[in-house]
């Protein structure tokens, strides 16, 4: 990581901060976002299309040291995307920063489990889990906190419902509870585990989660308990912000517009229709880019957002303001 690559101009247009050399020339008029030495623990990289992938690259481009916590079933896939030539382009850091995504740790984590004591026998004996010593939230957060001597940034970018394609009225109790557990309660569990490692950090610490408009408005295809999980996540964000604010830990959410990630494509096969629908009705008449979510996340993790907590920031081309 080049230290100079850690500076971003936020008051110039997007094009102007693509070239690092031009930044040096206008350094005096630049607002820096410098996360050098900060430690970011990111949950939710499933592949190189995940929001979390773009967030990891962007935080690293700003100087942060990266630890990924990925679902045990995709651990091998993520390891391979991080190394194979085929995916080299997708590892490149954004904004003209030199180098590529290089997390210092890639740990397995199944957000169904708060501690290893909660893991059921079937999972313990599953060959995809058996090879790992631990994969519950508490043990993973503690391993990262001890390895780096603290955590400055925690990203929650995970969601799951096994009945995601069912309408709300058809959703079973067990799938509904599971969706809330994995997609919402896990944030509480992570913040609880991370609190001792995030308190007392220079400049404060920041937690950012991902939500969707379907948590506060009716999006008919957003069933399977997922709309309820996002509604829970949103009020939990406020509760947690209040719970840990005295320790200078901020908790915020980004409400992203529709984007065709793996999770989104599982909601409905013709997910592109949702993107087009929103794009045609948004004040900015287009779909979002995952990099735009990552950039907003960088802002929320930076000192520029030092008084923002308990907030949901929409990164959706303005779609949420529309009445028709
Ligand atoms: N793509 C969209 O349109 C959109 C819009 C708004 C919000 N979001 C939110 O963004 C976040 C990231 O989703 P994405 O679109 O990048 O899709 P994604 O499929 O790339 O990411 C979802 C991640 O959740 C992980 N996950 C699922 N169950 C897990 C478990 N039990 N333990 C640990 N990890 C688990 C998956 O492994 C995957 O990495 C989610 O919270 C999603 O709801 C997505």
Q: What is the pLDDT of residues 4-19, one digit of tens each?
A: 444 444 433 333 334 3
Give the rounded percent of residues in the chain with a pLDDT score beyond 90. 86
Q: What residues act catalytically? A: 212, 222
pLDDT, one tens digit per residue, over 136-179 is: 999 999 999 999 999 999 999 999 999 999 999 999 999 999 99
- Write the residue with the smallest CA distance to atom 43 of ligand 1: 159
Distance 156 CA to ligand 1 centre (A): 9
Token duo for residue 204: 């404060």
What is the position in ligand 1's atom list of the atom closest to the CA of 49?
A: 20
Strands 105-108 and 39-43: unpaired
Q: Which residues line ligand 1 (CB under 6 A)?
A: 44-46, 50-52, 71, 74, 109-112, 157-160, 182, 210-212, 256, 258-259, 261-264
CATH number of 35-321: 3.40.50.720
Structural element, H or E, at residue 251: strand 249-256
Question: SS3 of 69, please?
Answer: strand
Residue 18 tokens read as 């693509």
Rounded distance between C-alpha atoms, residue 247 and residue 205, angstroms: 9
User: Mean pLDDT over residues 237-265, rounded?
Assistant: 96
pLDDT band, residue 202 (cuts 50/70/90): very high
Give mean pLDDT, residues 28-36.
Answer: 80
End-to-end CA distance of the chain: 47
Q: Which ligand 1 atom sits nearest the alpha carbon of residue 266?
A: 19
Q: Can you tell me which residue has the tokens 């949702």?
A: 274
State the helix-helix crossing angle for 226-244 and 186-198, rounded to 10 degrees.
Answer: 20
The answer to whether 224 touches 164, Cβ cutoff 8 Å, is: yes
Q: What is the pLDDT of residue 29?
A: 61
To test ligand 1's pocket by mutation, which of 48, 51, 161 has the most ligand atoms within 8 angstroms of CB? Answer: 51
Q: Give 216 Cα–ligand 1 centroid separation in angstroms.
A: 18
Q: Which residue has the tokens 């999972």?
A: 123
Instruction: For residue 159, report the distance from its CA to the centre of ligand 1, in Å.
Output: 4
Quick one: which of 39, 181, 16 has its CA closest to 114? 181
């Amino acid at each position: 990581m080049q230290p100079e690559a850690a500076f971003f101009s936020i008051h110039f247009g997007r094009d102007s901060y693509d070239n690092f050399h031009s930044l040096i020339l206008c350094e005096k008029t630049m607002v820096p976002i410098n996360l050098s030495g900060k430690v970011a623990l990111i949950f939710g990289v499933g592949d190189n299309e995940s929001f979390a992938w773009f967030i990891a690259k962007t935080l690293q481009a700003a100087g942060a040291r990266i630890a990924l916590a990925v679902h045990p079933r995709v651990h091998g896939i993520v390891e391979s995307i991080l190394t194979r030539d085929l995916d080299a382009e997708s590892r490149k850091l954004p904004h003209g920063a030199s180098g590529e995504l290089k997390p210092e740790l890639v740990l397995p984590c199944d957000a169904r489990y708060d501690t290893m004591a909660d893991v059921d026998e079937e999972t313990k004996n599953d060959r995809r889990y058996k090879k790992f010593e631990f994969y519950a939230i508490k043990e993973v957060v503690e391993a990262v906190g001890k390895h780096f001597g603290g955590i400055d940034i925690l990203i929650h970018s995970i969601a799951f419902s096994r009945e995601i394609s069912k309408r709300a009225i058809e959703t079973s109790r067990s799938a509904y509870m599971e969706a809330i557990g994995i997609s919402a309660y896990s944030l509480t569990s992570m913040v609880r585990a991370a609190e001792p490692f995030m308190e007392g950090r220079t400049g404060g610490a920041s937690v950012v989660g991902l939500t969707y408009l379907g948590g506060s408005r009716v999006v008919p295809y957003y069933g399977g308990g997922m709309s309820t999980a996002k509604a829970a996540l949103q009020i939990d964000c406020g509760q947690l912000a209040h719970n840990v604010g005295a320790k200078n830990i901020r908790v915020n959410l980004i409400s992203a517009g529709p984007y065709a990630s793996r999770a989104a494509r599982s909601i409905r096969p013709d997910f592109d229709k949702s993107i087009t629908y929103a794009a045609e009705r948004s004040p900015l008449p287009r779909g979002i880019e995952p990099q735009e979510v990552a950039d907003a996340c960088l802002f929320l993790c930076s000192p520029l957002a030092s008084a923002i907590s308990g907030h949901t920031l929409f990164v959706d081309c303005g779609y949420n303001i529309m009445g028709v």
